[in-house]
Amino acid sequence: MNAIVAVDRNWGIGRNNNLLVHLPGDLKYYKEKTLGNVIIVGQRTLESFPGSRPLPGRTNIVLSDDPDFVRNDCIVCRTKAEVLELATQYDPDRVFICGGASIYRLFLEDCDAFYVTKIDEAFEADTFFPDLESLGFRIDWSSEEREEKGIRYRFVRYVR
């Protein structure tokens, strides 16, 4: 299983349930990696998507412990065990944990690869991703640096 995330210099990922910055190149990369695959998100992340709708072209699995949360346009699971059981039906290389912060933390130990957009800027974040470097993960691939809107970033893949 994989995770995909954009982080700032301090491993910040969001503020007020929104992305820290919208970088078209990062959004394109996210789409390229997840299209045709399985994404696992929390309820609040689903609600932050355009129109609060599942992302098209992907199998959307939503983890929510709210018994009143019911959707017919995605797969709703109530527990981590239920998500992991469902995920066994798919190629693990095609399953992506996509947030939010509590979902990333919950599935951190279940992921073997982390596709991280490292943004070379520090934003005022209130939500953070675990610092993979301090946890002993290593970089096995990195893109060339890019720049959009005056913000430099690169794509990095961390592995166990």
- What is the reported pLDDT for 17? 85
Residue 126 is predicted with a pLDDT of 97
Q: What percent of the chain has pLDDT over 70?
A: 100
Per-residue pLDDT tens for 5-56? 999 999 999 999 889 999 999 999 999 999 999 999 999 999 999 999 999 9
Spatial strand order in the sheet of 12-15 = 18-19, 12-15, 127-128
Dig out the tokens for 7 from the structure: 């982080």
Average of per-residue pLDDT across 96-103: 97
| DSSP assignment letter at 125 | -
Judge residue 108's burial from the number of C-beta atoms within 10 Å of its C-beta, 0-12 exposed, 13-18 middle, 19 or more buried.
middle
Q: Is 23 exposed, middle or buried (0-12, 13-18, 19+ CB in 10 A)?
A: buried
How confident is the prediction for the chain on average, in pLDDT?
Answer: 97
Alpha helices by DSSP H, listed for 35-147, are: 43-48, 80-87, 101-107
Q: What is the pTM of this model?
A: 0.96
- Segment 80-91 shows an average pLDDT of 98
The answer to whether 30 and 57 are in contact (CB under 8 A) is: no
Distance CA 40, CA 7 (A): 18
